[in-house]
Chain A
Amino acid sequence: MINVLLVDDLPEALAMLQAVIRAAFPEACCALAANVSQAKQLLDSRLFRMALIDLGLPDGDGMEIIQHIQQRQPECATIVATIFDDDEHLFKALQAGAQGYLLKDHPPESLAQQLQKIFEGQPPLSPAIARRLLRHFQRPPSVGAITEAELTVRERAVLGLLAQGIRIVDIGNELHISRHTAGDHVKNIYRKLKIKSRAEAALHAKGLGLI
């Protein structure tokens, strides 16, 4: 059984997400939360394999929940479910450790597919976010940077193509790799983003004399 946490202040959205989860993972068991505090309570009481989180919540920001999950249940796959593809917010969520995102207005069948892919380690990456990632990784490695947080040439190539709006399938064709390999690259990019972001945050905190 897969425990899934759904956080959204809109009951319709919760219902829709629940339907999507059922379609994607028939054996899933959903726990619903309408705000940050409910979500935190649930997270403190049981283990989840997956969490779908809306960013704008009545009593706070979905980011808080993502951070909470990163601290308490790092094994839990965190996915942002939003209606805005505004890369500013999504990027922050990804840096904080979210493993993907869904746009809630997509048709339920498509959402179920996307969710399965994320769960299998093939997160989506819009061109806007890919561009942001490129910029992020282009920054020269700072002092004390960790090499495993830097992108490989291949990963950079994949990211570059994604930034041009090219689909993973076509990227695989273009680079003569399978779509799964291309997807793995994306997964690694996500992972490295998290590492790099954390390293930088730590470095920054050190610079400020916080640790």
Chain B
Amino acid sequence: MVVATLPILPVRRLSLALLLCLILGALSVALALRGPWLGLQLLGQEDGSITVTQASGPSDAIPVNARLVFLANDQTQLELTAKDLIEEPDVFDQYPEMDDFFMRQGELASLLRSPEVTLGWRVESDPKILQTTTLRPVERPLHSLPLLFWFQLAVSSAGFLIAAWVWALRPQEWGARLFAITGLSFPVFAMPAAVYSSRELALDGTWFRALSALNHWGSFMFGAALVGIFLCAPQRLVGLRVMVGLFMSYNLWWLADTLRWAPNMDWGNRFAVMSEMLLALLLAALQWVRSRREPVARASLRWFMLSLLLGSGLFILLIVTTASLGWLPPMPQGYAFGFFLFIYMGIALGLGRYRLFDLDVWAYRLLFWLGGALLLVGLDALFIGALHWSGAQALAVSLWTCALVYLPLRQWLWQKFGNRSRQRLHELFPDVLRIAFQSEPHARERLWEGLFQRMYQPLEQIALAQDQGGATQLTEEGLALLVPVCAGIPARLLRYPAQGARLFAPRDRDFAETLVHLMTLAESSRAAQETGAQEERQRIARDMHDDVGARLLMLMHHARTPELADLARAAMQDLRTALAALDSQPVLLENAQADWRAEASARCDAAGVKLLWQAPAHGLHAMLTARQKAVMERTLRESLTNALKHGQPQHIEIRITLEAAVLKVQISHDGPRTAPDAWNEGRGLRGMKHRLQEVHGALTLTALSGGGTQTILQLPLDTKDSLD
């Protein structure tokens, strides 16, 4: 079971939060059900009258669409107006208006508490006749609470629990603490509002006033905590004193509002909320500027700002601002509270992506656990409360529902968000094999790099010169992923995944680790195959050595003329080149160049010819395939032979250059020769050209103006042959 693997403390903290949430919810329901009920659903009309949209229970006799005129008991009669149905007292601009409203609500409420009340009403068809119905108010039943009430309870509970979840996991962090305060403030302002906005007609004046004050306090604290968050996350800008000061001043402001010290609602309440929003915005901007050199902080800040500002910004725009402009809110405040849930949903989704508050995917497990517990309790309550089942029956059905709905849902969500990588492993497996069986190390490294590029789309991928130890690891706070040396490919550092849009998470590390492991396995089997091939090649080389080599040596020994001996010697060298190419390992151009130079030097020395070898000291960083090296080596050798034999020069110059991935070897000598056009293309020259063409190279011969000849060998290195 998931719970068992979780750290105990967060679960305990979260359970506490859940309990608190349930208590707050139960309190709200109890308050909403408090007081007598007439069985009416009423709607205020523009002309100031009140119509009945639904009548049941005690007021069964009153028809729908009837206009209520008065409410009376045996002593008092009060005219009813649409004003009595105002959802949210905050729409009043002046405190006296508001206090009048509360007073009148109190009068209505006390009237309703009489054992019998009389309602006076008229119907549209017969507006002149005033009809009366006398009825006995009853206790308000649960089902009479409107959807809006439950909606507010639900969104504020959800927000609170998400905030509590974050806090439960990181109780030491200031950002998380303040976030938790916003979460706690959410039900504090939303639940009282839910209670008074879903009253039938009236609420006890004192209660109403208290609930309204609580609603204000909640919103003040929410805003203060929001400001606090940007004061300390991602960078702590102020000390504890300022933070306490912040909360103190808004508490004072709230006191001024509640005790009516402020001149009006604008000063008492709306400006306070707007000032908090403005402060939060300014601080967010400041944090934004300050985090310009820290992509981690920025990425999380961006997400956080978006969620927070979108959620609370929309609410303030739609409800607070319209109210202060004297307009009617475009939607019931209760539903507008839904915007706040954006914040919490955004944070919840952003946690894994940006590691907000340094949390990770595993944190979701706790959320799933919470969801399960909540579903269980909720269903239980529903069955007991609404369907009047016995406790045991309700529990059994709830458990079954959880099993049928929650567990599969959790599984689905987990697969969708938590474990995407597992599905991709089998897709990547052929790629890994292809890389492992790539014999050319550079191509292997290139493909390995490409694989990681495709998988994580990092902005930066650096091959590391030194091995950083055995394991794949997250570094730089999740900005980078270190992939160790594997299958002879250097370790590499991947930075800024998803084009810098997210951070590396432990599951990325685990997945990369699996890949590395797989690669190592595949490589070792390739190496085994290679060893087999290597042994076979060595056997061939040994045979050639013993057989052909010995015969050539005999040929040299028994050669009747020095020319024949030279021919055998040249054949021997070619054989060596061919055998060296057998192991098919690519060669660094620098090294090939060194071998050629040593051989050319020795031959020129022996022939008494001065050799000028020109090659860049650095800048021959390229790889030659074994075949390319063999072809170039043989061609160069033969060109040198031709120069030494036919040209009889005093100087030979060999110049090696590498430009635009084309290797160019120029052999010039100062020996007298006829113009190249007059030459007959012998078998030697044809063979050289042919061999070079096979590796996409070319040979050109030119007569130098000052006498002598130049042979140019060109070989493109960056062809498909050289890389695959």
Contact = CB atoms under 8 A, between A and B. Distances in A.
B530 to A, nearest CB: 16
Interface residues of B, number: 33
B606 A56 contact: no
B714 to A, nearest CB: 21
Contacts of B576: 84-85
A167 B601 contact: yes
B605 A167 contact: yes
Given A83-B549, A107-B569, A12 B557 contact: yes
Interface in B596-614: 596-598, 601-602, 605-606, 613
Interface stretch (B98-106, B181-189, B199-207, B587-595): B587-595
Interface stretch (A29-37, A69-77, A124-132, A143-151): A124-132
Contacts of A16: 553, 556-557
Contacts of B579: 84, 86
B598 A10 contact: no
Given A83-B545, A84-B576, A105 B552 contact: yes
A164 B594 contact: yes
Nearest to A13: B553
Interface string A138-180: 0000000000000000000000000111110000000000000
B665 to A, nearest CB: 14
B299 interface: no
Interface in A1-56: 10, 12-13, 15-16, 56
Given A56-B545, A164-B597, A165-B597, A83 B591 contact: no
A165 B553 contact: no
A163 B594 contact: yes
A198 interface: no
B542 A127 contact: no
B542 to A, nearest CB: 7
B611 to A, nearest CB: 9
A191 interface: no
Contacts of A13: 550, 553, 557
B405 interface: no
B546 interface: yes
Q: How large is the interface on A (under 10, 10 to 19, 20 to 34, 35 or more residues)?
A: 20 to 34
A12 B553 contact: yes
B543 to A, nearest CB: 11
B223 to A, nearest CB: 63
A126 B595 contact: yes
A84 B556 contact: no
B interface: dominant SS: helix
Candidate in A84, A85, A126, A166 with the most chain B CB atoms within 10 angstroms: A84
A131 B545 contact: no
B128 interface: no
B554 A127 contact: no
B22 to A, nearest CB: 66
Given A127-B591, A165-B598, A56 B557 contact: no
B654 to A, nearest CB: 11
Contacts of A167: 598, 601-602, 605
Contact of A84 (B545, B557, B594): B545
A181 interface: no
Contacts of B554: 10, 12
B190 interface: no
Contacts of B606: 107, 110
Contact of A10 (B553, B572, B580): B553
Interface string A90-120: 0000000000000011110010000000000
Interface in B321-360: none
Contacts of A15: 557
A182 B565 CA distance: 33
A165 B597 CA distance: 5
Interface string B548-577: 011011101110000001001100110010
A177 to B, nearest CB: 19
A16 B546 CA distance: 17
Contacts of A12: 553-554, 557-558
Contact of B593 (A10, A84, A128, A165): A165
B565 A107 contact: yes
B571 to A, nearest CB: 9
B601 A165 contact: yes
A164 B549 CA distance: 28
B553 A84 contact: no
Nearest to B593: A165
Contacts of A128: 591, 594-595
Candidate in B541, B573, B593, B594 with the most chain A CB atoms within 10 angstroms: B594
Candidate in A10, A13, A105, A167 with the most chain B CB atoms within 10 angstroms: A105
A15 B573 CA distance: 21
A192 to B, nearest CB: 22
A131 B591 contact: yes
A153 B615 CA distance: 24
A11 to B, nearest CB: 9
Contacts of A105: 552-553, 556, 568-569, 572-573
Candidate in B549, B598, B613 with the most chain A CB atoms within 10 angstroms: B598
Contacts of B601: 165-167
A127 B588 CA distance: 13
Contacts of A127: 591, 594-595, 597-598
Nearest to A55: B545
A104 B575 CA distance: 14
A110 B593 CA distance: 23
Interface in B58-117: none
Candidate in B550, B568, B569 with the most chain A CB atoms within 10 angstroms: B550
Contacts of A166: 597, 601
A119 B558 CA distance: 28
B545 A126 contact: no
A164 B601 CA distance: 12
B614 to A, nearest CB: 12
A85 B593 CA distance: 16
11 contacts: A12-B553, A13-B557, A56-B546, A83-B550, A85-B576, A106-B569, A126-B595, A128-B591, A128-B594, A166-B601, A167-B602
Given A56-B542, A164-B590, 12 more contacts: A12-B554, A13-B553, A83-B545, A84-B579, A86-B580, A105-B552, A105-B556, A105-B572, A106-B569, A127-B591, A128-B595, A165-B594
**4 A-B pairs with least C-beta separation:** A165-B597, A165-B594, A127-B594, A165-B598
